[in-house]
Every structure is written in C-alpha cells, then in structure tokens.
C-alpha cells in the first residue's frame, strides 16, 4: 500500500477516486527544459504513479534563467538525471523511467512502443524532433498536449489551450501546423500557446546544434507557466474533467506594439 499522506491536500480536492486515477496513470514527458522540467514536477506532485522522462541534453549556463534543474552547481550535468533525482525525492514510490537521448525517428518509435501511456506531453523546443514525436504519437492514437513557443513573450495571462490547428500569434505553431498538414496529421492534438505578439527584436541565430537554428529571448516565469498549463491539461483529463478549448477567431487583428516607456520621470519630456 502506497503512502498517500503527502497527497492529503490533493485528496481534499479530487477525492480518493481521483487519486486512484492519478496513481494508476503513466505519463510521458519529452523535453526537460524551461517548460518540461516544471511540467514534469507538477505531474509528479499531483501524484501520478508512473512517469517516463526524456531528454538527452546537459545543463548550460544560459539555462539558469528558466530551467528547474539548472543551477550554478549543475553545469554540464544531465537534465534527465537531475530531474529524476528531484522527482524521486518528491515521491520515492514513483515508478520512473529515465531516457537520456535526443529524439530520432527510430528512438521515437522505440519510446512509444514501450508504453502504453495515458498521456504524452511534448515539451520539445526544436522543430524536427517535435514533429517526429507529434506525428508518431498522433498516428498511434495517443492523447497529446504540445507546448508551443514560450520565447519572445512576457505575459503569462495570455496563455491559452486549443486544438493545434486553431493556434495563432505563435511562430513555432505556424511551422508545426504547416509541416504536420503535409504529414496528414489532423485534429486531436491539444496545444498550449500564447496569443501575445512575439518580440521579434529578441531573436538570435544559433549554431544549429540540437536542431535549433534560432532562439528567442526568455524570461524566468513564462516557460514555467507553459509547463503549468500543460500539466493542468493532463491532470484534468486524467481526472475526467473537461478542458475548454479556445476557438480560433474568424478575424485576427494585429495589435500595435507598445510604446517604449521612459526610464525616468524626465526622459521624453
């Protein structure tokens, strides 16, 4: 019999039947960066009994502004190993599988045959592996929630949940939608995205490592907010709770960029 005393506050909210559902569930979390590290922790703290976490990367100093395992003392260490240690410290009875690998088509197929999973969480921030996971999981009939781009944005109150093909105001979602259509992927993937306009001036070009050719600037709390919304979709659906999906507007009006505010009381006078 598992010790549920640490879940007493969760039990007050969802009851014993809800805890039973969460304890019996197996959730796959792919990508343990700014979004996925927080999403994985929220899933574990909710009492989900089985998890598979996947990430082949190590901590870089630039990760420290937004990623849960990134500390001044963990540079160069495996994100998957660090998160595994943290998740098991939260719930020592968690049945946890750790996969330290970047996703190739072959690895994705192998990973998904090792299920079954009650939910797949896509928290990948690189387009090619993201597409590979989404296509394969979709065609295998998995329930999926996918995080779109958290970079170049500041306002967590503008996060929304919708069908992937109803997303807008998101550069990553635009690329993903276009490519998935060609792969005959249709409705059935939930997406977490922001309707805030991206701050294009924060874009930088990268060296192309880890499938990334470019990246937007990020702020500490926004990827964590994405992770929280992704985790909420999974947990609510595992509990049988409805998740309301945003409908894409018929007309999308572009907002004018906000005027730069003065840095002092006299500046601009």
Domain count, the chain: 1
Q: Is residue 244 in some structural domain?
A: no
List C-alpha distances in Å: 4 to 11, 20, 26, 49, 185.
9, 10, 18, 11, 40
N-to-C CA span, the chain:
70
pTM: 0.90
Q: What is the pLDDT along the chain (269 residues), one digit of tens a residue?
A: 678 999 999 999 999 999 999 999 999 999 999 999 999 999 999 999 999 999 999 999 999 999 999 999 999 999 999 999 999 999 999 999 999 999 999 999 999 999 899 999 999 999 999 999 999 999 999 999 999 999 999 999 999 999 999 999 999 999 999 999 999 998 999 999 999 999 989 988 776 555 556 789 999 999 999 999 999 999 999 999 999 999 988 777 666 555 555 554 444 44
**Which range marks the domain in which residue 42 is found?**
5-238
What does DSSP say about strands 203-205 and 214-216: parallel, antiparallel, or unpaired?
A: antiparallel
Q: Is residue 254 in some structural domain?
A: no
Omega prior to 147 cis, within 30 of 0: no
The pLDDT, as a whole number, for residue 3 is 87
The pLDDT, as a whole number, for residue 14 is 98
Q: Is residue 245 in some structural domain?
A: no
Q: Is residue 246 in some structural domain?
A: no
How confident is the model over 47-75, as pLDDT tens digits? 999 999 999 999 999 999 999 999 999 99
Q: Is residue 264 in some structural domain?
A: no
């Amino acid at each position: 019999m598992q010790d549920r005393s640490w879940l007493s506050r969760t039990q007050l909210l969802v009851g014993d039947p809800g805890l039973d559902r969460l304890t019996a569930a197996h959730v796959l979390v792919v990508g343990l960066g700014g979004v996925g590290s927080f999403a994985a922790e929220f899933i574990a703290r909710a009492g989900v009994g089985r998890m598979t976490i996947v990430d082949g990367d190590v901590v870089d100093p630039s990760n420290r502004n937004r990623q849960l395992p990134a500390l001044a003392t963990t540079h160069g260490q495996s994100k998957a190993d660090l998160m595994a240690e943290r998740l098991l410290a939260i719930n020592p009875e968690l049945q946890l599988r750790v996969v330290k690998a970047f996703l190739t088509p072959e690895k994705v197929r192998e990973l998904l045959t090792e299920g079954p999973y009650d939910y797949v969480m896509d928290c990948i921030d690189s387009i090619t592996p993201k597409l590979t996971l989404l296509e394969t999981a979709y065609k295998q009939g998995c329930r999926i929630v996918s995080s779109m781009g958290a970079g170049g944005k500041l306002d967590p109150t503008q996060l929304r949940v919708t069908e992937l093909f109803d997303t807008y105001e998101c550069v990553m979602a635009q690329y993903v939608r276009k490519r998935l259509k060609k792969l005959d992927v249709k409705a059935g993937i939930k997406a977490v995205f922001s309707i805030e306009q991206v701050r294009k001036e924060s874009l930088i070009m990268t060296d192309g490592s880890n499938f990334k050719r470019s990246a937007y600037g990020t702020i500490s709390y926004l990827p964590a907010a994405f992770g929280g919304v992704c985790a909420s979709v999974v947990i609510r659906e595992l509990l049988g709770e409805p998740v309301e999906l945003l409908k894409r507007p018929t007309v999308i009006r572009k907002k004018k960029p906000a005027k730069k505010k003065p840095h002092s009381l006299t500046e601009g006078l």
